[in-house]
Amino acid sequence: MSRLTPISFASSDIDAIASAPGRVAIIVTPDGKMDKAARRANRLTKGAVARLLASDGFATGEPAGQTRVITMAWPAGMAAEALDVLVLERRTSVIEARRAGAALAKVKGDKALLVMAGGMSRAEDLALGLILRDYRFEAHKTAPDTEVGGVTIHHTKADELSLDTVRAIADGVVMTRDLVNEPANVLTTTEFADRLVEMQTLGLTVEVLDEARLEELGMRTLLCVGQGSDSPSKVVVMMWNGGADGDAPLALIGKGVVFDTGGISLKPPAGMEDMTMDMGGAGVVAGTMRTLAMRGAKANVVGLVGLVENMPSSNAVRPGDVVRSMKGDTVEVVNTDAEGRLVLCDVMWYAQERFKPAGMIDLATLTGAIIVGLGHENAGVFSNDDTLCKAFLKAADAEGEGAWRMPLGSGGSAYDDLLKSRIADMKNLGGRAAGSITAAQFLLRFVQDGMPWIHLDIAGVASVKGETPLAPKGATGWGVMALNRLVADMFERG
Ligand code: BES
Ligand code: MN
Ligand code: ZN
Whether the CB-CB separation of 186 and 494 falls below 8 Å is answered with no
> Quick one: 17 exposed, middle or buried, by C-beta within 10 A (0-12, 13-18, 19+)?
buried
Whether residue 197 has pLDDT greater than 90: yes
For 335-374, how does the pLDDT look when each residue is reduced to its tens digit (9 = 90+)?
A: 999 999 999 999 999 999 999 999 999 999 999 999 999 9
> Of 118, 136, 157, which residue is a domain's last?
157
Nearest CA to ligand 1 atom 14: 367
For 267-294, how does the pLDDT look when each residue is reduced to its tens digit (9 = 90+)?
A: 999 999 999 999 999 999 999 999 999 9
> Of 123, 157, 191, which residue is a domain's last?
157
Q: Is the CB of 337 under 6 A from ligand 1?
A: yes
Does 213 map to a domain? yes
Which ligand neighbours the alpha carbon of 274 most closely? Answer: 1
Nearest CA to ligand 1 atom 22: 368
Whether residues 141 and 179 fall in one domain: no
Ligand 3 geometric centre to CA of 343 (Å): 10
For 288-316, how does the pLDDT look when each residue is reduced to its tens digit (9 = 90+)?
A: 999 999 999 999 999 999 999 999 999 99
One DSSP character per residue, 102-146 reads HHHHHHHTTS-EEEE-TT-TTHHHHHHHHHHHT----TT-----P
Would you place residue 462 in the very low, low, confident or very high pLDDT band (cuts 50, 70, 90)? Answer: very high
Q: What is the pLDDT of residue 59?
A: 81
Strands 82-87 and 68-73, bridge-based pairing: antiparallel
Whether residue 409 has pLDDT greater than 70: yes
Whether residue 65 has pLDDT greater than 60: no
Strands 205-209 and 234-241, bridge-based pairing: antiparallel
Whether residues 24 and 102 fall in one domain: yes
Does 24 map to a domain? yes
Whether residues 147 and 210 fall in one domain: no
The whole-angstrom separation of Cα 213 and Cα 234 is: 9
Residue 335 alpha carbon, nearest atom of ligand 1 = 18
267 is an active site residue: yes
Whether residue 194 has pLDDT greater than 90: yes
Q: How far is CA 184 from CA 307, 382, 484, in A?
A: 12, 29, 27
- Give CA torsion, residues 97, 100, 102, 106, to 10 deg: -170
Whether residues 120 and 224 fall in one domain: no
pLDDT (average), residues 394-418: 97
Q: 3-state DSSP call for residue 179?
A: helix
Q: What is the pLDDT of residue 186?
A: 98
Ligand 2 geometric centre to CA of 229 (Å): 14
The whole-angstrom separation of Cα 238 and Cα 380 is: 25
Q: Nearest 5°: CA angle at 59, between 55 and 60?
A: 115
Q: What is the pLDDT of residue 64?
A: 57
Whether residues 153 and 172 fall in one domain: no
Whether residue 140 has pLDDT greater than 90: yes
Does 162 map to a domain? no
pTM: 0.98
Whether residues 132 and 220 fall in one domain: no
Q: Nearest 5°: CA angle at 345, between 340 and 346?
A: 110
Whether residue 4 has pLDDT greater than 70: yes
CATH number for the domain that contains residue 74 = 3.40.220.10
Does 2 map to a domain? no
Nearest CA to ligand 1 atom 16: 338
Whether residues 106 and 203 fall in one domain: no
The whole-angstrom separation of Cα 360 and Cα 177 is: 23
Residue type, 228: G
Residue 365 alpha carbon, nearest atom of ligand 1 = 6
Does 289 map to a domain? yes
Strands 426-427 and 453-457, bridge-based pairing: unpaired
- For ligand 1, mutation pick of 265, 309, 337 (most atoms within 8 Å of CB): 337
Select which of 341, 427, 445, 485 is catalytic. Answer: 341
The whole-angstrom separation of Cα 106 and Cα 307 is: 35
Residue 267 alpha carbon, nearest atom of ligand 1 = 13
Q: Is the CB of 276 under 6 A from ligand 1?
A: no
Q: Is the CB of 335 under 6 A from ligand 1?
A: yes
Residue 462 alpha carbon, nearest atom of ligand 1 = 8
Domain that holds residue 141: 7-157
Whether residues 134 and 275 fall in one domain: no
Share of residues in the chain with pLDDT > 70 (%): 98
Whether residues 174 and 289 fall in one domain: yes
Whether residue 66 has pLDDT greater than 80: no
Ligand 1 geometric centre to CA of 436 (Å): 10
pLDDT (average), residues 166-172: 98
422 is an active site residue: no
Does 1 map to a domain? no
Whether residue 380 has pLDDT greater than 60: yes
Q: What is the pLDDT of residue 328?
A: 98
Closest alpha carbon to 307 in 182, 429, 137, 392: 182
Whether residues 177 and 230 fall in one domain: yes
Does 430 map to a domain? yes
Does 327 map to a domain? yes
For 17-59, how does the pLDDT look when each residue is reduced to its tens digit (9 = 90+)?
A: 999 999 999 999 999 999 999 999 999 999 999 999 999 889 8
CATH number for the domain that contains residue 212 = 3.40.630.10
Residue 432 alpha carbon, nearest atom of ligand 1 = 19
Q: What is the pLDDT of residue 411?
A: 87
Whether residues 177 and 94 fall in one domain: no
Select which of 36, 43, 157, 267 is catalytic. Answer: 267
Residue type, 396: A
Whether residue 144 has pLDDT greater than 70: no
Whether residue 63 has pLDDT greater than 70: no
> Of 100, 131, 157, which residue is a domain's last?
157
- Any idea what DSSP says for residue 275? G
Q: What is the pLDDT of residue 493?
A: 79
Q: Is the CB of 35 under 6 A from ligand 1?
A: no
Whether residues 279 and 396 fall in one domain: yes
pLDDT (average), residues 246-260: 98
Question: Total structural domains in the chain?
Answer: 2
- Helices and strands in the chain, H and E counts: 17, 19
Q: Is the CB of 112 under 6 A from ligand 1?
A: no
